[in-house]
Structure 1
Amino acid sequence: MDHAATMRRTYERISAGDIDGFGDLVADDFVDHQGGPGFPATKEGTLDFFRSLRASFPDMQMNVEDVIADGDKAVARVTVTGTHQGEFMGMPPTGTRVVGVALIDIMRFDDDGLVCEHWGVSDMLSLMQQLGVVPAGAPS
């Protein structure tokens, strides 16, 4: 199975706003080890998180920079862009376009080729700086 190609398809579907199609690539017993804040670490919780994220950033694009696959796991380096047009983590929309927010994701695949586990880190500092919540640059 080509886990790298499946991983790329997850980002393509999320970027297209096809959250149900993304869900077709995720196992029913999926576990998200670094899921969205306030969302269950389940398949449905993850789908709800991405629906919420797409409501906050309706033009969000997840651009895959690199994918490395080995065995039952794949790792991706992704950059995210989008315009803050809906409430996000309690913040009202700013209309700000964010660019180059970095993500590193690890996905594990089951015997059917579906994503069954996820670990990830995202550059929340860059996102919050671009939204104006956290000052950018060196401390004064």
Structure 2
Amino acid sequence: MTTEMIELVRRDPEEVWTEGSVGVIDEIFAESFVLHYPSSPAEPRDREEYREYVETFRSAFTDLTYAVDDVIADGDTAALRYTATGTHDGELLGVEPTGERVSVPGMEMYRVENGEIVEMWTSYDALGLFRQLGVLPPLEELSELAERG
């Protein structure tokens, strides 16, 4: 099961995110899928909202690629660490295209039942992403602002 589970969860970053094959979502994610995304006020999300989430980022970074750095699996759970890279050439959450090339690390944990992903927890360096886009100042500047009160 471990090898099959690793192959299954790799399809998410490799086919869904890098290739942009959002139709794969219906193949690998259960109809009852739940996405836990702590940075979102709408957390948790379902399979259709996950598709919209992917499409939002793929339209903002049309050359988006995900490199899988590590995958481990045990029981019904797999954890995956990745690095996403792309050029900001489309609007993202109200931020107009900057043309900036970004590299963002992240991790996901998947729970699998009957050969389908039923639950996923995702976390990526959102602060780093927006700093690379120039939307947020460097941490040093934020620190100085905080000290000034």
TM-score, normalized by the shorter chain, greater than 0.5: yes
Decide which of 29, 32, 36 is 2:32's aligned counterpart: 29
SS in 2 for 1:24: helix
Matched, 1:110 2:113: yes
Instruction: Sort the Cα spacing of 1:124 and 1:76 in 2 relative to 1 into closer, same or farther, 3 A.
Output: same
Gaps of 5+ in 2: 145-149
Q: How many residues align?
A: 138
In structure 2, the residue matched to 1:47 is: 51
Name the aligned partner's letter for residue 75 of structure 1. Answer: A
Q: In the alignment, what sits opposite 1:6? A: 8
Quick one: distance in 1 between partners of 2:11 and 2:75? 18
String of CA shifts for 1:93-135, please: whole Å, max 9, x gaps. 1111102x11110000012x11100112110111011000112
* Aligned with residue 79 of structure 2, among 75, 87, 96: 75
Shift of 1:38: 6.6
Is the Cα–Cα contact under 8 Å of residues 36 and 49 in structure 1 kept in the other structure?
no
Q: Distance in 2 between matches of 1:15 and 1:84?
A: 15
- Structure 1 gap segments, 5+ residues each: none
Q: What corresponds to 1:136 in structure 2?
A: 138
- Give the C-alpha shift of residue 22 in structure 1: 3.2
By percentage of residues, which structure has more helix?
2
Instruction: State the partner residue of 1:60.
Output: 64
Q: How far, CA to CA, are the matches of 1:133 and 1:85 in structure 2?
A: 15
* Equivalence for 2:127: 125
Residue of structure 1 aligned with 2:96, choices 79, 92, 96: 92
C-alpha RMSD over aligned residues: 1.7
- Offset from partner CA, 1:24-83 (integer Å, 9 cap, x none): 111000001117747670001101110111001111111100001001110011110011
Q: Is the 8 A contact 1:23 1:47 kept in 2?
A: no
2:136 alignment partner AA: V
TM-score (norm 1): 0.91
